[in-house]
Amino acid sequence: LLVVLNDNEYSISPNVGAVSHWLSHHLSGPTFNMLRRRIKAVLAAHPRLGERTLHWMRRAVESAKVMFTPGILFEGLGFQYVGPVDGHDLSALLAILQNVRELDGPVLVHVRTRKGRGLPCAEAEPSRFHGVGPFDPRTGELLAAAGPAPSYTEIFSRALVEQARHDKRIVAVTAAMPDGTGMAAFARQFPDRFYDVGIAEEHAVTFAAGLASQGLRPVVAIYSTFLQRAYDQLVHDVCLQRLPVTFALDRAGIVGEDGPTHHGLFDLSYLASIPHLTVMAPADEAELVDMLHTALRLEGPAALRYPRGAALGVEPRRRPRRLEVGRGRLVHHPVDQPRLAIVTIGTMLRPALQAAEVLERRGLPVLVADARFRKPLDERLLLRLADGCGRLLTVEENTLEGGFGQAVAACLQRAGRSGVALRMLGVEDCFVEHGRPGQLRARLGLDAGGIVKAALELAGGRRAARGA
């Protein structure tokens, strides 16, 4: 086993934890240097000490030095330690990597690099250039235009701080992502109620469960894709105990250039499989605020998922309202008798409304409904739409496997509505590559054009159980 440690002395957020403290404290060397100076002073003050004494004192110095070198931690874990190596000297690095291939057993190569090396603006502000879009390399100025509305993350951050002002039981937990999840504002306002557990999502969930068991109302803000790491803790430590932990899943759905590791395309499926967990997906920022307000007043666990990027510009209410759990809403009703109902969950509502305008101009009147809840489903609304239209088109920014559409299909089957034509739009059984979110949605049929195409095919009698 060969492990390459890229040590660029950088982390997105301040490091936490005992190991980090040990490394930063001891590897900086002040303790060892002080010990060495004192031993030298003793030797200088007693020149007549015997050679044997001098020998053992020098051995003590060398032993102390070993204790404070980087390799001691890794060698204690069973690795052969090699380094540190200059990671920017490619020829030397390649030679070392070639040599260590011949060693037996696990080897760790400690490589020192500088984040952003060669680009002054990136070296000066590594956090700003960690995940960045187009920019001017001469000035470092970001070229992407700011959105007309604040991001969903910012909306969540403000709403959480406001909720915490009125309820001292609310505490915030994150796994080394206070900035990315919007928790930094909470930490500034309520430092004694904020916990960063480091890159340990499993611990974040179990830690939140412990807080909830003692009467607190923890909110765990985490990227959708990273919560997958803590599925076991979700099941056993939170949901089995019915503890009131709120999970705020940022970066749900298509994320964009970060690629397949960061798309949040499975949460509606894996979360809905867990008993006692309420799963919500806001269509806009106003619903996000209302859903956070609702989740913090439930007796059990809840999760709400929202995307990356700018929100839609829908002004949240001055006083958020508590939503009725498991109840969707009818958003658009055409003048003429609808021939089809489009049922969306989450931010797919906006493109569905755009598609409805196009469809009605083409002579196909449609209903549009916002499900709001993945679990529990609003079965009463779904059956009413099925009976009234006879055709349902579900749209979700999530995998089709175990997703919202399949839950609707199961609802229809249980109710004996086998004659209802159903089409499901979502992500097929695949990993989505990186790309611009708009382009990816268009490719997946999850934009207005894709919804129009699927609706026309469904209304024309082509019944399908999968995506476009």
**DSSP secondary structure string for all residues of 207-248:** HHHHHHHTT-EEEEEEEHHHHGGGHHHIIIIIITTT---EEE
Could you tell me if 326 and 374 are in contact, meaning their C-beta atoms sit under 8 angstroms apart? Answer: no
CATH 3.40.50.970 residue spans of the chain: 152-305
CATH topology of domain 152-305: Rossmann fold (3.40.50)
**Selected catalytic residue, list 36, 65, 114, 115:** 115
Asked if the model's pLDDT at residue 403 lies above 60, the reply is yes
Q: What is the CA radius of gyration of the chain?
A: 28
pLDDT at 64: 52
- What average pLDDT does range 33-41 have in this prediction? 62
- What average pLDDT does range 132-139 have in this prediction? 70
Partnered with residue 172 across adjacent β-strands are 194, 219
Q: How confident is the model at residue 11 (pLDDT cuts 50, 70, 90)?
A: low
**397 included as an active-site residue:** no
pLDDT tens column, 97-115: 888 888 888 999 999 888 8
pLDDT at 19: 58
pTM: 0.80
Least confident range from 36-45, 242-251, 269-278, 380-389: namely 36-45
- What average pLDDT does range 211-228 have in this prediction? 97
Q: How confident is the model at residue 463 (pLDDT cuts 50, 70, 90)?
A: very low
Q: How confident is the model at residue 462 (pLDDT cuts 50, 70, 90)?
A: very low
**453 included as an active-site residue:** no
pLDDT tens column, 110-132: 998 888 777 777 666 666 666 66
Partnered with residue 112 across adjacent β-strands are 7, 86
pLDDT at 118: 73
b/e for 390-402, b at 16 or more Cβ within 10 A? ebbbbbbbbbbeb
**115 included as an active-site residue:** yes
**Selected catalytic residue, list 201, 285, 287, 396:** 201
Asked if the model's pLDDT at residue 357 lies above 50, the reply is yes
What CATH number does the domain located at 329-459 have?
3.40.50.920
CATH 3.40.50.920 residue spans of the chain: 329-459
pLDDT tens column, 164-210: 999 999 999 999 999 999 999 999 999 999 999 998 999 999 999 99
Least confident range from 31-40, 330-339, 442-451: namely 31-40
Could you tell me if 304 and 248 are in contact, meaning their C-beta atoms sit under 8 angstroms apart? Answer: yes
Q: How confident is the model at residue 292 (pLDDT cuts 50, 70, 90)?
A: very high
**Selected catalytic residue, list 114, 158, 229, 384:** 229
